[in-house]
Chain A
Amino acid sequence: MERQEALEWLAQEQHEIPEGQVFKAGLFEPADAPGIARLFYAVYGDGYPIDTFYIPDRLIAQHRTGELHSAVARTPRGDIVAHAALFRSSAPNPHLYESGLGLTLPAYRTTMAFYRAYQLTMQLVGRDGVDGIFGEAVCNHTTTQKLSKTSRCIETGLEPALMPAEAYETEQSAQGRVGCMLYARVVNDDRKALYVPEGYREQLAFMLDGLNLDRELLPSHLGLPGDDGAIQVTRFDFAQVARCIVSAPGAGLSARFRDLEEEMRRLDYALIQVYVDLGQPWAGAMVALLRELGYRLGGFLPIWFGGDGLLMQKHFVDPDLDGLKILSDRGRRLVEMIREDMRRD
């Protein structure tokens, strides 16, 4: 089944889900797949950008391969009224999952349905190939940050002005762009080398604190090879964000990033994010190159590559740090750290 066929099926069947049914949270079972597709269709109509969530067979396949681990709130007649998931997203490490894809049928939004499904996904951390998780909690209010706290994740980074306000229009609380706090939690891990870029020792120590990771902190003195180098760029047109991974280090990356920046500015993008592998001895040189180009600290991403990652970012819009609503002292300290780094030459 392809997207169009799935959308025709969903439109034709006009499946009604009665309000007020009792529900029970459970991990994904193949029989849930049509109900998840109906839920996505009920919430997003035909506008959800990822085909998989409309196509039951693909949902089943993605659970089989470990791309996706869903939990649902299921009624006795098999309707799915809420969904939460751990899924592989931007991280190259297949054992680091993003927590998200939270969705609730409108009639069940003021129930515990979503929360129960979300809680179940947290039980998967540390098993079924899920070594760790990360999440992005919006900072136009603090309830999502509070939810992240209930999952024992801690703040490790900040992504100011990450999302356009339109993404949250139903909440009526977002103006301009919306920043996100990065949260992470790692359960299965072993000792790793972490090459500390010059000028970031204190910040990394702060962000590592509380993650319970065994790291050998090493100075990062190795220069970049004189090659062109290579980056992988993923564009998110809706969010106006480009995300890059340095796949091969090289002094030629300055020119590559300048070209990319010019193109992104022309397309009215809001920011570029770059993930640097701190498990590589050239990490410091790469961060220095990025700083010269105006990129500044975003955060620490444990086991992002297998080794840890450092997020660097450059904004083409006002990052609006003063407009962020932050729940915790640790989060506020992170904001100040990012602000200081933006000011630092």
Chain B
Amino acid sequence: MVTVEELKRIMCHAGIERSIVDAMDPAEPLALQGLDSIDYPVFALAVEERFGVKISDRDALRLKTLDDFKQFVEGAR
């Protein structure tokens, strides 16, 4: 079971501003909540490493929210 809180911790560890992470709504697009083109891949790579999953570029096109990441990781494990 992957939690949104765990994903948020990974985000903080990846260097994304804590205030952005704390305020994050898991159902809303990350792009509308302050993540940029560097934050996103750094987060995605950290998720790959933490959960031992592979996120292809095509997968990433669909992973727009924290909830999407949660479902993807649970499905891939």
The CA of A106 and the CA of B29, in the complex, are separated in Å by 13
Q: Is the pair A111, B15 in contact by a Cβ cutoff of 8 Å?
A: no
Q: Is the pair B37, A141 in contact by a Cβ cutoff of 8 Å?
A: no
- Cβ-based interface call for B10 (8 A): no
Chain A interface, number of residues (Cβ within 8 angstroms): 30
Q: Is the pair A143, B60 in contact by a Cβ cutoff of 8 Å?
A: no
Residues 211-262 of A contacting B (Cβ, < 8 Å): none
- Cβ-based interface call for A115 (8 A): yes
The CA of A145 and the CA of B15, in the complex, are separated in Å by 9
Please tell me which one of the listed residues A110, A112, A146, A325 contacts residue B30 in the complex, with CB atoms under 8 A apart.
Answer: A110
Known: A147-B42, A171-B34, A171-B36. A22 touches B15 (CB 8 A): no
The CA of A108 and the CA of B38, in the complex, are separated in Å by 11
Please encode chain B, from 2 to 39, with 1 for each CB lying within 8 Å of some chain A CB and 0 for all others.
00000000000011110110000000011100111111
Please tell me which one of the listed residues A82, A146, A171 contacts residue B15 in the complex, with CB atoms under 8 A apart.
Answer: A146
Q: Is the pair B58, A115 in contact by a Cβ cutoff of 8 Å?
A: no
Chain B: interface size category: 20 to 34
- Cβ-based interface call for A332 (8 A): no
Residues 30-77 of B contacting A (Cβ, < 8 Å): 30-31, 34-42, 44-45, 55, 57-58, 60-61, 63-64
Q: Is the pair B34, A111 in contact by a Cβ cutoff of 8 Å?
A: no
Residues of chain B within 8 A of A114, CB atoms compared? 37-38, 41
Known: A20-B61, A115-B41, A171-B36. A109 touches B31 (CB 8 A): yes
Q: Is the pair B64, A110 in contact by a Cβ cutoff of 8 Å?
A: yes
Please tell me which one of the listed residues A20, A109, A141 contacts residue B40 in the complex, with CB atoms under 8 A apart.
Answer: A109
The CA of A20 and the CA of B57, in the complex, are separated in Å by 11
- Cβ-based interface call for A151 (8 A): no
Residues of chain B within 8 A of A113, CB atoms compared? 37, 57
Give A39 Cβ to nearest chain B Cβ, in Å. 12
Residues of chain A within 8 A of B36, CB atoms compared? 104, 109, 170-171
Q: Is the pair A144, B31 in contact by a Cβ cutoff of 8 Å?
A: no
For residue A81, which residue of chain B has the nearest CB? B37
Q: Is the pair B38, A111 in contact by a Cβ cutoff of 8 Å?
A: no
Residues of chain A within 8 A of B37, CB atoms compared? 82, 102, 104, 108-111, 113-115
Known: A142-B15, A143-B42, A173-B17. A111 touches B35 (CB 8 A): no
Q: Is the pair A110, B35 in contact by a Cβ cutoff of 8 Å?
A: yes
Q: Is the pair B15, A141 in contact by a Cβ cutoff of 8 Å?
A: yes
The CA of A170 and the CA of B33, in the complex, are separated in Å by 11
Most buried by B among A108, A111, A113, A171: A111
Q: Is the pair A112, B16 in contact by a Cβ cutoff of 8 Å?
A: no
Q: Is the pair A143, B20 in contact by a Cβ cutoff of 8 Å?
A: no
Residues 72-127 of A contacting B (Cβ, < 8 Å): 82, 102, 104, 106, 108-116
Give B14 Cβ to nearest chain A Cβ, in Å. 6
Q: Which 9 residue pairs spanning A and B have beta carbons closest together?
A: A142-B15, A115-B41, A104-B37, A114-B37, A143-B15, A110-B31, A109-B37, A110-B40, A112-B60
Chain B residues at the A interface, C-beta cutoff of 8 Å: 14-17, 19-20, 29-31, 34-42, 44-45, 55, 57-58, 60-61, 63-64
Can you list 10 A-B pairs with a CB-CB distance of less than 8 A? Answer: A20-B61, A110-B29, A111-B60, A113-B37, A113-B57, A143-B14, A143-B38, A145-B15, A147-B38, A170-B36
Chain A residues at the B interface, C-beta cutoff of 8 Å: 20, 22-23, 82, 102, 104, 106, 108-116, 141-147, 150, 170-173, 325, 327
**A110-B29, A143-B15, A173-B17 provided; 13 other pairs, C-beta below 8 A?**
A22-B61, A23-B57, A104-B36, A110-B31, A111-B61, A112-B55, A115-B38, A115-B40, A141-B16, A143-B38, A143-B42, A173-B19, A173-B20
